[in-house]
Structure 1
Amino acid sequence: MSDVARLAGVSAQTVSRVSNGSAGVIDATRQQVIAAMNELGYRPNSAARALKRGSFRTIGVILFTLSTTGNVRTLEAIAARAAEEDYAITLIPVAAPTQAGVRGAFSRLNELAVDGIIVIMEVHLLDAATVSLPPGVHAVVVDSDASDGFSVIDTDQADGARKAVEHLLDLGHSTVWHVAGPSASFASERRVNAWRSVLSSRGCAEPALLRGDWSADSGYLAGLTLAASDCTAVFVANDQMALGVLRAFHEKGIRVPEDVSIVGFDDIPDSTSFSPPLTTVHQDFAEVGRRCVDKVLKQMRENSTEPGLDLVPTRLVVRGSTAMHTEFAV
């Protein structure tokens, strides 16, 4: 910094102000300092600056996998919002979907320079009694059954599932089958419970529950089972599995929506290109990511914890995969 100051003909304090983007430096002087920095190849030492101000301007993100659409889109939104606030993110993968894996990821926080943490935890593994944060680190959890000790941001899974099932029943179907996600998934179980609740409230019979693993292949296997049943309407827990169901129906000569109506969940970008275009529940992953960053930054700035649940609304997007049930229309 002293070398830059000498070359630019200014004080070291002025160089510091320019480096930190502070106000109070006239533009001509700022450009003079920047030119000196470029000539000398000067780069501010972020580690030293972090130690001086007691903040690393980095948010840690713990997550299991990048193989699911929701995780990728949520992470993308977290990174974008963090950048807007001049923060970087550090990914901390969980080695295995076990309590030990979760504890290991949290333990790594002690070795990393992060000011806050966002946990994308879609399975029932987060127990405040078994994990602990380093002193001064604040946390926000996404899509989890976290205890009251954490601040949780989530899509309103139950309301989205209700909208899907009610839409199909309102089209005149006597009941709705369901292809669920893994039983360990918090989001999956919220959707299953909502499906059952709507059927019960409408006095509809509850068909056998089918399960997949979020993949199109597992949806295809479930679709083969559905093709051999008396199903006329099915709510599928995500769009990827719905794609597999559509393939199975096509191979078995079952028309969608003439013979069976299908509703998915997520509203992935490709869902408009399914054949037919998929009716689905839209999740606002971008809003979830933004709220996560805003919440953890608020906790950091106010030195608070703010435990509780913040739900992001869903909306039903009706496309070509659902239609009035033929018998009902007659």
Structure 2
Amino acid sequence: MTDKPIRTITDLARLAGVSPGTVSRALAGKSLVNAKTKERIQALAREHGFQLNQMASKLRRQKTGVIGVAIPLGHDHRQHISDSFFMTLLGHLADELTERGYDLMLRRVIPENNEDWLDQFIGSGMIDGLIVIGQSDQFDRIEDVADGYLPMVVWGNHQEGQRHCVVGTDNRLGGKLAAERLIAAGVTSIAFLGDVGAMEFAARYAGAQEAAGRLAVPIKNFTIHLSPDRISSEIASQLDEVLSNSDGVFAATDTIAFALLRELQTRKVAVPDNVKVVGFDDLPIASQTSPRLTTIHQDIAAGARGMVDLLLRRLDGNSSESLILPPKLVIRETA
């Protein structure tokens, strides 16, 4: 028993001593939960007047015309929404949602300050459905909510067997293409710049490792965060080691690549003569850097359309498969 109101799946899970996903499955009557646990959770729910997705059910009857967009920053909580990738994707999402008659409610979330962020957003009564940009380190939390909340689509990395619906690029293949390009350009050792605590970056690094290993080229990860108060200083502090061990750099994002090119220019290190660089994203500015950035293109506009299409299908009560977009190598001047 507890005096604290039971408002969310997480509240009920804490009371029952199980995971939020188990609560979702138990209240949905799924056979994955053993009968004894299911009965206990359902009894607690009745005792506290809790119904699975009671707020979501209400919203399906009384539409708000608003789609929530959450950006969880569990792996790098100092990162800003003003990041070029976020702004590019948000622009395309806003265009798509507006054309479909929806408004957008945006939240930047620091999960360590609020572990119930997903339940609270979904149960706020203010949104019809939810788009999550990036899995960060919140994969398990998103999986739990996906069991009981249909109208949610996530931009991120897909892995076999996951339950939540994802739209995103084949990051592992993109990493493989980046490493292969560097090696084809004559690179003998590769530095990967990025924080592999993020699922998408980890997949990009894994793809690059696969290609480098197959071709017997060493590769090493250097952790670089995307928060604006850290990215330049982290690159500067590690660049001597990068340059002493590598003649090619695979940057996990174009934003990291841009910061690297600035630092290399400051130190008068010639690109691509002394070091070759490949980025990832193909943001609009990638064709305007000096030299112009070789990068892995992910179709952000198509991804935004895909997320909105799948979300609207789910708002109508239908399930949907994840959408994996093919990456494309764009060769310019840095490699």
- Offset at 1:51? 8.6
Instruction: Report Cα offsets for 1:250-284 as digits up to 9, x if no partner.
Output: 34332111121111112222222322111111222
User: 2:91 maps to which residue?
Assistant: 76
Which residue type is aligned with residue 283 of structure 1? Q
State the alpha-carbon separation in 2 of the partners of residues 305 and 102 from structure 1.
26
Q: 1:251 to 1:79 in 2, by over 3 A?
A: closer
User: 2:66 maps to which residue?
Assistant: 58
Question: Are 2:278 and 2:293, in contact at CA under 8 Å, matched by a contact in 1?
Answer: yes
Of 254, 263, 280, the match for 1:248:
263
Question: Are 1:224 and 1:248, in contact at CA under 8 Å, matched by a contact in 2?
Answer: no
User: 1:166 maps to which residue?
Assistant: 180
TM-score calculated relative to the size of structure 1: 0.72
Instruction: Report Cα offsets for 1:279-329 as digits up to 9, x if no partner.
Output: 11122222111111100101122x1233x432112211111112xxxxxxx
State the alpha-carbon separation in 2 of the partners of residues 254 and 208 from structure 1.
20
Instruction: Report Cα offsets for 1:138-182 as digits up to 9, x if no partner.
Output: 111111568732111112211111111111111222232221x22
- Offset at 1:212? 0.3
Q: 1:161 to 1:138 in 2, by over 3 A?
A: same
Instruction: Report Cα offsets for 1:221-272 as digits up to 9, x if no partner.
Output: 3333323x04221111112222232233334332111121111112222222
Q: 1:219 to 1:271 in 2, by over 3 A?
A: farther
Instruction: Report Cα offsets for 1:96-116 as digits up to 9, x if no partner.
Output: 233x63522432322233221
User: 1:223 maps to which residue?
Assistant: 239
Q: 1:151 to 1:102 in 2, by over 3 A?
A: farther
State the alpha-carbon separation in 2 of the partners of residues 254 and 136 from structure 1.
51
Which residue type is aligned with residue 211 of structure 1? T
Instruction: Report Cα offsets for 1:182-234 as digits up to 9, x if no partner.
Output: 23211110111111111111122x2432110035403333333323x042211
Which residue type is aligned with residue 249 of structure 2? V
> What is the RMSD of the two structures over their aligned residues, measured on CA atoms?
2.7
Of 106, 111, 117, the match for 2:130:
117
Where do residues 117-266 of structure 1 align in structure 2 (5 Å cutoff)?
A: 117-128=130-141, 131-132=144-145, 138-144=151-157, 148-179=162-193, 181-204=194-217, 206-214=218-226, 215=228, 216-217=231-232, 218-227=234-243, 229-266=244-281
Question: Are 1:56 and 1:115, in contact at CA under 8 Å, matched by a contact in 2?
Answer: yes
Count of residues paired in the alignment: 266
TM-score calculated relative to the size of structure 2: 0.71
Q: 1:192 to 1:281 in 2, by over 3 A?
A: same
Q: Which has the larger radius of gyration?
A: 1
Query: 3-state DSSP class of the match of 2:180?
Result: helix
State the alpha-carbon separation in 2 of the partners of residues 52 and 117 from structure 1.
13
User: 2:306 maps to which residue?
Assistant: 291
User: 1:272 maps to which residue?
Assistant: 287
Q: 1:57 to 1:236 in 2, by over 3 A?
A: same
Question: Are 2:157 and 2:170, in contact at CA under 8 Å, matched by a contact in 1?
Answer: no
State the alpha-carbon separation in 1 of the partners of residues 60 and 209 from structure 2.
56
State the alpha-carbon separation in 1 of the partners of residues 142 and 167 from structure 2.
20
Unaligned runs of 5+ in 2: 1-57, 73-79
Question: Are 1:110 and 1:134, in contact at CA under 8 Å, matched by a contact in 2?
Answer: no
Unaligned runs of 5+ in 1: 1-49, 323-330
Give the share of equivalent positions with the same residue, in percent. 24
